[in-house]
Structure 1
Amino acid sequence: MDSWLLFKALLLGLVEGLTEFLPISSTGHLIIVGSLLDYTDEQSKVFKIVIQLAAILAVCWFYRQRLTQMVMRLWTRSPEQRFALHILIAFLPALVLGVFLHSLIKTYLFNPLTVAAALIAGGVLILYLERRPPRVRFTEVESITWREALKVGFAQTLAMFPGVSRSGATIMGGLIFGLSRQAATELSFFLAIPTMLAATVYDVYKARDLLVFDALPVFAVGFLAAFVAALLTVKALLHYVSRHSFEVFAWYRIAFGGLVLLTAYMGWVAW
């Protein structure tokens, strides 16, 4: 097995795990880093599906006790049943729009320059939202109503544009609709589970002909790297948002997106 290919897998796995649940766009980073590493062939498409699954499983493992309790009480009238219903409601907009727009977006918008522009625009929006007076109505994620869940679900659909960030759209949507930073972040994590699982299953089905045994070592390295990095990131982000705003992520988005556009304009990198 090519050691350089394994290194690419390790690096991209770390990128996926570190960025999936931060409001900085994992898809955007994978597009940009994958382009830099010249890992954009057909196998890379399947690889990105595999490492995304690792990130989903990491958040499931982190919340395993709450998810188990939710499943056990799913068929009884309980707060867990109500919360599970709200997650389903929040997931529906992305499910419906994703079916119609998935292929169109992947065909025309998955390139480093559109990602860079979206990173900058999203960073500016985060700065604006963080400097508004807070209007917190929900400090616990389980206390949200179906209305707030649906609103955040529509906010999540903005993330179909690569570079916007699924976690960024849901967290900022949560803040707009009255959730605390902690509650908005946790809602983003829980909403990621059905959203990313659905997208992964759909992508695997479409790319089923590209699944080959020879690529197993590459997929395994990327999967493990993404799982560990995502697990550490989820824990660190919850600790961070309990004490800080999201402004640092906004400035990072602006700086990173600006750097990509600058390198393109100067001709330093042929994106």
Structure 2
Amino acid sequence: MDLLQALILAIIEGITEYLPVSSTGHMIFASSYFGIEKEAFTKLFQVSIQFGAILAVVVLYWRKFFDFTKFQFFLKLGFAVIPALILGKLFDEKIETVLEHPTPIAIVLIIGGIILLVVDRFFTNPTIHKEEDITFKKAITIGFWQCLAMMPGTSRSAASIIGGMQQGLTRQAAAEFSFFLAVPTMLAVTCYSTFIKTYEDTQMKGYELILKSSENTKMFIIGNVVAFIVAVLAIKFFIEIIKKYGFKPWGWYRIIAGFLLLVYFNFLK
């Protein structure tokens, strides 16, 4: 992977992480197009630059994250992230196997798009407008919904937002809780991939891959900075779109993108 490819992947991560379109799916397609999808550093990079996207939420909602008097807020996130931590560890190897095959991910993109086209029809009477009204039971339930995103192409954002709406949250409240929940979820995944996981091709830990060369270190730093800046803009954009138009624009995007990617990887590549 070179610096230009790293920049493109970081921009994709920043744009798509908080949109219901699957950031992982988009980065896999991009890395497959570049022919770098099997490289150990590429696999690490795609996960580690989520740290920049995490910081975007913390900065935009800093009053929420740095108000330590609201202990229940942090407790809710802690309980909600538990299902993803357990299931993620159990299915880590199977998930990584799927990541190397673009076709099933494209199909999941299309299926998810169809669901987004109709989801607004099912949750028309929301009763929860802010995070303070979310119970611990509802938070944990949303956490289980988030686990659907372990299938690449599903979208963590889409799964947790739909889960929030199923639990009675408004679209905006569900989106914002999805943002909040992303912080411990992605932080855990990033730390695991960087400090604990051993990459089979090299038998090295993630941080060893980052420090292996000055080029790797530079790409890691620049990737996180770019992902942070782009994610800040994407979050603001998404909130406005979802308030005005719901999920239909993202549904059509997923369907069109999924079909184009199916054609490319099965007939043109």
TM-score for the superposition, normalised by structure 2: 0.91
Q: Equivalents in 2 of 1:209, 1:10: separation in Å?
A: 21
Mapping 1:1-271, distance limit 5 Å:
5-40=2-37, 41-69=39-67, 72-73=68-69, 80-132=70-122, 134-205=124-195, 206=197, 207-211=206-210, 212-214=212-214, 215-265=216-266, 267-269=267-269
1:132 is displaced (CA, Å) by 2.6
Contact 2:76 2:136 in 1 (8 A): yes
Letter in 2 for 1:98: G
1:263 is displaced (CA, Å) by 2.2
Q: Equivalents in 1 of 2:249, 2:232: separation in Å?
A: 21
**Structure 1 partner of 2:201:** none
Q: Equivalents in 2 of 1:150, 1:137: separation in Å?
A: 18
Q: Equivalents in 1 of 2:163, 2:100: separation in Å?
A: 23
Q: Equivalents in 2 of 1:27, 1:169: separation in Å?
A: 14
Structure-2 change in CA distance of 1:110 and 1:187 (3 Å): farther
Q: Which runs of 5+ in 1 are unaligned?
A: 74-79
1:109 is displaced (CA, Å) by 4.6
Q: Equivalents in 2 of 1:222, 1:109: separation in Å?
A: 20
1:175 is displaced (CA, Å) by 1.2
Structure-2 change in CA distance of 1:133 and 1:184 (3 Å): closer
Q: Equivalents in 2 of 1:121, 1:94: separation in Å?
A: 22
1:133 is displaced (CA, Å) by 5.1
Letter in 2 for 1:54: G
Contact 1:123 1:250 in 2 (8 A): yes
Letter in 2 for 1:210: L
Letter in 2 for 1:252: Y
Q: Which runs of 5+ in 2 are unaligned?
A: 198-205
- What secondary structure does 1:131 align onto? helix
Letter in 1 for 2:45: F
Q: Equivalents in 2 of 1:153, 1:31: separation in Å?
A: 24
Instruction: Provide the aligned C-alpha RMSD in A.
Output: 1.5
- What secondary structure does 1:138 align onto? coil
Letter in 2 for 1:58: A
Contact 1:181 1:241 in 2 (8 A): yes
Identity of aligned residues (%): 39
- What secondary structure does 2:66 align onto? helix
**Bigger mean CA deviation after superposition, 89-98 or 206-215:** 206-215
1:242 is displaced (CA, Å) by 2.3
Aligned residues: 257
TM-score for the superposition, normalised by structure 1: 0.90
- What secondary structure does 1:242 align onto? helix
Q: Equivalents in 2 of 1:153, 1:95: separation in Å?
A: 10
Contact 1:110 1:162 in 2 (8 A): no
Structure-2 change in CA distance of 1:213 and 1:170 (3 Å): same
- What secondary structure does 2:169 align onto? coil
- What secondary structure does 2:143 align onto? helix
Q: Equivalents in 2 of 1:87, 1:220: separation in Å?
A: 27
Letter in 2 for 1:34: S
Structure-2 change in CA distance of 1:244 and 1:204 (3 Å): same
1:135 is displaced (CA, Å) by 2.3
Letter in 1 for 2:257: F
Letter in 2 for 1:264: F
What are the Cα deviations for residues 171-226 of structure 1, in whole angstroms up to 9, with x where unaligned? Answer: 11111121000100000000000000000011012133322232122223322211
